[in-house]
Structure 1
């Protein structure tokens, strides 16, 4: 069985996810810790859950989702995994953070493992399928566990909304087309965990999301 523990970090209220199995292995998805106390909270929660970090997964590489990448990578010896299409954003992290009044000493590490549409990522006995949906960012991906009916959607899809497309590399048409052709075809009872805000389901978004009607 799959369990998901969301932690909300940084001024953007970003959802960092601890995704873990009954066997005690976990993936850390989109680590967004900016402050020391946020790093401590992540470490404490992982210890409290008694899980062992095995994967560092990134749905995309916008600043609010990568602030804790270096910490997690070095603390737990994990290679960041993301889509190559977002790598250009890594070199902009420090300056982008400064533009929002956030002090960051260094850019995060570039992804050591590139994930593409259709790839599969294993966490214990659980398999995640990588679904590429560009538009919020060129390399935006979601992680889908068919067995557990869970979608880790990053900033592609939100409860009642979709990701913004006015940032570098954004494209609203690509985003909407990708959501409709690759996410809305999933079963209605799939639970969606977005990069910000509350969880939702595919069925709810099909029925009520004004951007998809």
Structure 2
């Protein structure tokens, strides 16, 4: 059984996910802030983290990347289209918000592309879901009927497209072809807010009506 733990972190309450099976290691997805809390949670769980996966490289999803990576000596994965974003505040957006710290991490260790990926006991699909950002991806755990989709789709909403590289038509196509094509009962875990399902969004998401 795949266990998904959700931690809303930082000033924008970005969802960080720690996922694991009943035994073995864990994966950390989008450590956006509060690195000490993430580290403490993993150590309390007595799990060995295997990797950090990023749905995309906006600042609120990557703020604690280096702290967690360096503490556990684990690799960071991001889509190749955002390979330069981790250390560039102008690309990751942190330079656009006065009062928030600039986010500057080291480079990613590995680059994601669409297809199957295996890390330890985790065998999942990477789907390229651009629109919110050019390198946005979703992680699909078919056997568990779980999808972690970043800021592509929210409960009764969709990701913003007014940031660099964003495009509304591209986003809607990603949602329709890559997320709503999943079984209606999949649990969809977004970058902010509560989980949902494809079935719920088909019926109740006003941004998708008529698409």
TM-score range, shorter chain: over 0.9
Q: Give distance in 2, aligned partners of 1:27 and 1:60.
A: 16
5 Å-filtered alignment, 1:172-183, equals: 172-183=168-179
Which of 68, 86, 93 in structure 2 is aligned with 1:90? 86
SS of the aligned residue for 1:128 comes to strand
Over the residues paired in the alignment, what is the CA RMSD in angstroms?
A: 1.6
SS of the aligned residue for 1:138 comes to coil
Contact 2:76 2:110 in 1 (8 A): yes
Which residue matches 2:117? 120
Q: Give distance in 1, aligned partners of 2:138 and 2:118.
A: 12
Which residue matches 2:191? 195
SS of the aligned residue for 1:197 comes to coil
5 Å-filtered alignment, 1:16-31, equals: 16-31=16-31
Unaligned runs of at least 5 residues, structure 2: none
Which residue matches 1:109? 106
Q: List, as ranges, runs of 4+ consecutive aligned residues in structure 1 with deviation greater than 3 Å.
A: none
SS of the aligned residue for 1:121 comes to strand
CA positional deviation for 1:128:
1.2
Which of 47, 50, 54 in structure 2 is aligned with 1:51? 47
Unaligned runs of at least 5 residues, structure 1: none
Cα distance per residue 1:147-196 (max 9 Å; x no partner) = 00000011111111111011000111001011101111100110011010
1:159 counterpart = 2:155: yes
The aligned length equals: 207
Contact 1:81 1:113 in 2 (8 A): yes
* Structure 1 residues 96 and 138: CA distance shift in structure 2, 3 A: closer
Which residue matches 1:65? 61
CA positional deviation for 1:132:
0.4
Q: Give distance in 2, aligned partners of 1:166 and 1:87.
A: 20
CA positional deviation for 1:21:
1.2
Which residue matches 2:5? 5
Contact 2:129 2:174 in 1 (8 A): yes
1:129 counterpart = 2:107: no
